[in-house]
Chain A
């Protein structure tokens, strides 16, 4: 399990290579990449972060995922700082013997990152700055996993 919280961008092929080096015995690998959506007029996305807590919280999320599904490896990269439209924000790679485990775990981890990991997004437009508010729909997705 690797968790990396950083400002710099990540390179997908390098990340997959590291993931494969650390565990090569999986039959299924699921990869999710979250990017800055190029909303109309968006100049950049500022992502604030509490790195020490994020490290702990994401590790906790990953451990819960490992207890729910049979996973061989997890790699999570989450960026913070100033990001331009279309830039990468987050990468979640999950590996398992069968695809249902890696796909479900990947979605579970993303749902938790959305509402439980200490990151805060601010949208920067030429005439305004807006702190993104937590969405009710994201919270509902989170609660759905409780009964899983």
Chain B
């Protein structure tokens, strides 16, 4: 699965993107966050304030219950501050 990180989330994880093999039992964004938080302290720290994080699957904004598959591009970022 292709994962992308932006703004302070990318800074904490110290990566902007990566490809990871995700266990087959991980089916939603929420489960993916729990999984990533369990394998490394940096993810745990980045996802600590979960309410402050937004997600997109294949460049479309979704909620934590969104179903994901290994072909998807999943992005994590804070609330937007464009314009």
Tell me the A residues contacting B by CB distance below 8 Å.
34, 48-50, 52-54, 56-57, 78, 89-90, 110, 113-122, 131-134
CB distance from B37 to the nearest CB of A (A): 21
Verify B56–A50 contact, CB threshold 8 A: yes
Verify B83–A133 contact, CB threshold 8 A: no
CB interface residues, B 23-77, toward A, < 8 Å: 56, 59-61, 75, 77
> Please, how many angstroms separate the alpha-carbon atoms of A117 and B82 in the complex?
6
Contact partner, B82, options A52, A113, A122, Cβ 8 Å? A113
B13 contacts across to A, CB distance below 8 A: none
CB distance from A140 to the nearest CB of B (A): 14
Interface size class of B (residues with CB under 8 A): 10 to 19
Tell me the B residues contacting A by CB distance below 8 Å.
4, 6-8, 10, 56, 59-61, 75, 77-83
Q: What are 9 A-B pairs at a CB distance below 8 A?
A: A50-B59, A53-B56, A89-B83, A115-B80, A116-B80, A118-B82, A121-B81, A122-B7, A131-B8
Verify B6–A52 contact, CB threshold 8 A: no
Query: Given A48-B6, A48-B10, A131-B7, are A53 and B59 also a contact pair (CB < 8 Å)?
Result: yes
CB distance from A22 to the nearest CB of B (A): 23
Verify A118–B77 contact, CB threshold 8 A: yes
> Please, how many angstroms separate the alpha-carbon atoms of A34 and B81 in the complex?
13
Verify A120–B7 contact, CB threshold 8 A: yes
Contact partner, B80, options A56, A110, A117, A122, Cβ 8 Å? A117
